[in-house]
Amino acid sequence: MTQIYVIGLGPGNTDQRTFEAQKALEEVTDIVGYGPYVERVDLPEHIRRHGSDNRVEIERAQHALRLAEEGRIVGVVSGGDAGVFGMASALFEAIEYGDPQWRNIEITVIPGITAVLAASARIGAPLGADFCVISLSDNLKPWDVVCRRVEMAAEAGFIIALYNPRSKSRPWQLGEAFGHLRPILPDETPVIFARAIGREDERLTYTDLAHADAEEVDMSTLVLIGNEYTRIIERENGQAWVYTLRKVTH
C-alpha cells in the first residue's frame, strides 16, 4: 500500500506539534514541501528532502504523488495545519485532475495547530465567540471577493483572523482591508498583530482599529480583529490579556 502523510507541523515551536505528526515524520522516507518548512523538520540525514519554492503547490503535490507511486513513504508538510491555506487542498486537486491510479494511494491528513489558535492562546482568548479565517492573498481569488468577505464578516459580528496579510508584491492589501473595516466597526475595536508565534523572533502587539498600522505587519504575521465584545485586561506587569466575552446580547 502506497502512503502519503499530509502533516501539519504546527507553529514554529516543535512542542506545539502533535504526537501523531511526530510519529508520521518518523515513518517517512521522503519529505516534500515549501523549502523553509522542509528545513524546519529535524529528521535523520538519510531522509530525502524535496524543498520547493512558494506558489508551486500543484507541481509539488504531483511530485509527492509520483514518489508515493514509486513506493516511497512521503510526508507532505505545511506549517500550522495543512488544511488551512496549506498543502492538503492542492494535493487532492492534483489527484482529482491527475492519474486515476492516484486515487488508490492512501492519504492520511494529520491536523496541526494553525496560526489563529496559537496566536489566540498566546494573548488570552480573543476567539471566545464565532470567528472566521480569511486569507488576504489574491493569488487565487479576486480582491473584490476578499473585500466582500471581510466586510460581511465584520457586519455579522465575527472575530476575524487574517492570514497572509501582506507580502512584498502586495504591500497595500492589509491597509485597504482596514479601510473597509473602519466604517463598520468602532474605532476602539481591538486589533492584534501576532508575528512568528512560537519562534525566537516572536512579536505580539495589540492596538485598536483607529490606530492599526498595516506598515507594522509582514507576511509572517497573523492579524486578529475583535468584535464589540472583545476586552482587554491590563496587568501590573505591563502585559495584558485580550479575550472576547462569550455572551452576546444583540
- Interatomic CA distance for residues 135 and 126, integer angstroms: 19
**Residue the block writes with cell 473602519:** 182
Is 78 a residue that touches a copy of itself (CB under 8 A)? no
Is 241 a residue that touches a copy of itself (CB under 8 A)? yes
Q: How far is CA 153 from CA 2, 132, 204, in A?
A: 42, 7, 24
The DSSP line for 169-210 is TBTTHHHHHHHHHTTTS-TT-EEEEEESTTSTT-EEEEEETT
Q: Min. distance of Cβ 161 from a copy of itself in angstroms?
A: 10
Is 166 a residue that touches a copy of itself (CB under 8 A)? no
- Interatomic CA distance for residues 59 and 65, integer angstroms: 10
The single residue among 152, 179, 186, 213 that binds a copy of itself, judged by CB under 8 A, is 152
The total of other beta-carbon atoms located within 10 Å of residue 187's CB is 9
- Interatomic CA distance for residues 241 and 224, integer angstroms: 14
Are 197 and 173 a contacting pair, CB within 8 Å? no
Q: Which of residues 5-34 bind a copy of itself (CB under 8 A)?
A: 6, 8, 10, 13-20, 22-23
Order of strands, sheet of 3-8, starting from the edge strand that comes earlier in the sequence? 48-52, 30-34, 73-78, 3-8, 106-110
Is 70 a residue that touches a copy of itself (CB under 8 A)? no
Q: Min. distance of Cβ 16 from a copy of itself in angstroms?
A: 5
Site string for a copy of itself, 118-137 (x = CB under 8 A): x-xxx-xxxxxxxxxxxx--
Q: Min. distance of Cβ 230 from a copy of itself in angstroms?
A: 10
Is 155 a residue that touches a copy of itself (CB under 8 A)? yes
User: Residue 130 or 213: which CB sits closer to a copy of itself?
Assistant: 130
Q: Min. distance of Cβ 185 from a copy of itself in angstroms?
A: 15
Question: At 60, which amino acid appears?
Answer: R
- Interatomic CA distance for residues 154 and 148, integer angstroms: 10
Q: Which of residues 41-60 bind a copy of itself (CB under 8 A)?
A: 57
The single residue among 79, 112, 165, 226 that binds a copy of itself, judged by CB under 8 A, is 112
**Among 212, 209, 219, which residue's Cα sits nearest to residue 170?**
219
Q: Min. distance of Cβ 156 from a copy of itself in angstroms?
A: 4
The single residue among 32, 153, 212, 224 that binds a copy of itself, judged by CB under 8 A, is 153
Is 228 a residue that touches a copy of itself (CB under 8 A)? no
